[in-house]
Amino acid sequence: MKFDYLLPNTRDFLFALANAYEKSHGDIPVYRQLVAPVFLQYGFRAEEYINTLVRLHYVNDARNAIPTEAGLHYQRLRRLYLTDRYITPAVVSFLTTIATLAASKIFERIMGMLSSLSLFQ
């Protein structure tokens, strides 16, 4: 699934839609009743958020505002995105640094042992 990062207000709006959809168990009339207070809470900004979510494929269409699979699993996708973007490179960099330091210490010890042998004197 493709991931597009959402701004906090749009993300909160998507979470409200996803929570309402999960509570309704896919029943559209119940979903519409649960989602009505969300639209009232966000007011005129709700239309802007819906259009953004439709464009990014987190909501099926602007009329029904039903979250897609990506919309329902946005939090998991976000966690995977942040892990791949920041945590994995940091861990790889740290382990590479440790391995390089360990290898240089081992090399110094080997060279010290070789220099103490009579073959190189």
Query: pLDDT (tens digit, 0 to 9) for every residue of the chain, 121 residues total?
Result: 678 889 999 999 999 999 999 999 989 999 999 999 999 999 999 999 999 999 999 999 888 899 999 898 998 888 888 888 899 999 999 999 999 998 888 888 888 877 777 555 5
Instruction: Write out the H or E segment, with its range, that includes residue 34.
Output: helix 28-42
What is the per-residue pLDDT for 13? Answer: 95
Alpha-carbon distance values, 88 to 2, 76, 94, 102, 105 (Å):
19, 16, 10, 21, 26
Rounded-to-integer distance, Cα 114 and Cα 12, Å: 65
One domain for residues 91 and 35: no
In this structure, are 53 and 92 located in the same domain? no
Q: Give me the number of domains the chain comprises.
A: 2
Range of the domain at 100: 84-120
Name the pTM for this structure.
0.71
pLDDT at residue 118, rounded to an integer: 59
| Same domain flag for 68 and 12 | yes
